[in-house]
Amino acid sequence: MEVRIYYEDTDCGGVVYYANYLKYFERARTHYLEEHGLSVTGLLKEGTQFLVVHAELDYRTPARYGETLTIDTTVTQIGRSSVTFAHVIRERTSQRVVVEGSAKLVTVDLQGKVKRLEKSLVDALQSPHRGKG
């Protein structure tokens, strides 16, 4: 997935504000789900939502206003009620690594109680990329 850096994403020096990478990770996870035939809205209707319980980021090089970033997202671990996503953000033209990180999410019901991942969800997360359409 790609993200273009706008002025609103940056600090006064034109560098992406560090916390915005967590937003980019969130967008990339949503994109990943969609690319694997899942939707956040559909999961909510079925009584499942994800909560982030742990996130790690390693900042490698600054991204700046006007650049376009690519975000590669993979599932690195699936537990009984958790999924860990890994993210690598690169500047599109140079391919330099900007940020690497991961986020562990747990599945919960609509009341916030931890629930086991359903087999259909695990299968979709592990399936090859479907693409849109």
Q: What is the four-CA torsion angle of 112, 121, 20, 1, rounded to 10 degrees?
A: -160
Domains located in the chain, CATH noted: 2-126 (3.10.129.10)
pLDDT, tens digit, 9 for 90 and up, residues 78-129? 999 999 999 999 999 999 999 999 999 999 999 999 999 999 999 999 987 7
The whole-number pLDDT of residue 30 equals 96
Q: What pLDDT score was predicted for residue 68?
A: 98
Q: Answer whether residue 45 shows pLDDT above 70.
A: yes
Choice among 11, 72, 109, 123 that is catalytic: 11
The answer to whether residue 133 scores a pLDDT higher than 80 is no
CA nearest to 101, candidates 63, 51, 56, 59: 56
9 is catalytic: no
If residue 126 lies in a helix (H) or strand (E), which one and from where to where? helix 119-126
Q: How confident is residue 130, by pLDDT bands cut at 50, 70 and 90?
A: low
The predicted model gives 72-83 an average pLDDT of: 97
